[in-house]
Amino acid sequence: ETGVTQSPTHLIKTRGQQVTLRCSSQSGHNTVSWYQQALGQGPQFIFQYYREEENGRGNFPPRFSGLQFPNYSSELNVNALELDDSALYLCASSLDRGNEQYFGPGTRLTVT
């Protein structure tokens, strides 16, 4: 059984640019959540997708957007990057909403 994978592992972007992060869910999981984890902080919820529909959104601006595909993989898009967007971005999948989450290794985004 393949776990949650994320790509790329590291990324360096310039302020104002756009970025797309990708996540493959664990097999059979229909729910994907995205988090932003700043250094020394807990994961901050960005949004969650359940069966291709957005199920909820955290306190992030609209320039953070996402998609979930029919195979339940997912993308996180961030437009107009700011320096404060530098963080570890975590994707987590679960068998259903509310269940325990299985996390990927994360994508380390650095904005300069």
Partner 1 sequence: AQSVTQLDSQVPVFEEAPVELRCNYSSSVSVYLFWYVQYPNQGLQLLLKYLSGSTLVESINGFEAEFNKSQTSFHLRKPSVHISDTAEYFCAVSEGPGGSYIPTFGRGTSLIVHP
Q: Which is nearer to partner 1, 14 or 98 (CB)?
A: 98
Sequence-separated (6 or more) residues with CB below 8 Å from residue 91: 4, 6, 21, 23, 32, 33, 34, 35, 74, 76, 103, 104, 106
Work out how close the CB of 64 gets to partner 1 at its nearest, in angstroms, rounded to a whole number: 15
Residues at the interface with partner 1 (CB under 8 A):
33, 35, 41-45, 48, 50, 55-56, 58, 90, 92, 97-106
Q: Which is nearer to partner 1, 2 or 14 (CB)?
A: 2
Closest to partner 1 by CB, 7 or 41? 41
Please report how close the Cβ of residue 35 comes to partner 1 at its closest, in angstroms.
8
Q: How far is the CB of 76 from partner 1 (least distance, A)?
A: 16
Nearer to partner 1, 17 or 41 (CB): 41
Shortest gap between Cβ of 69 and partner 1 (angstroms)?
21
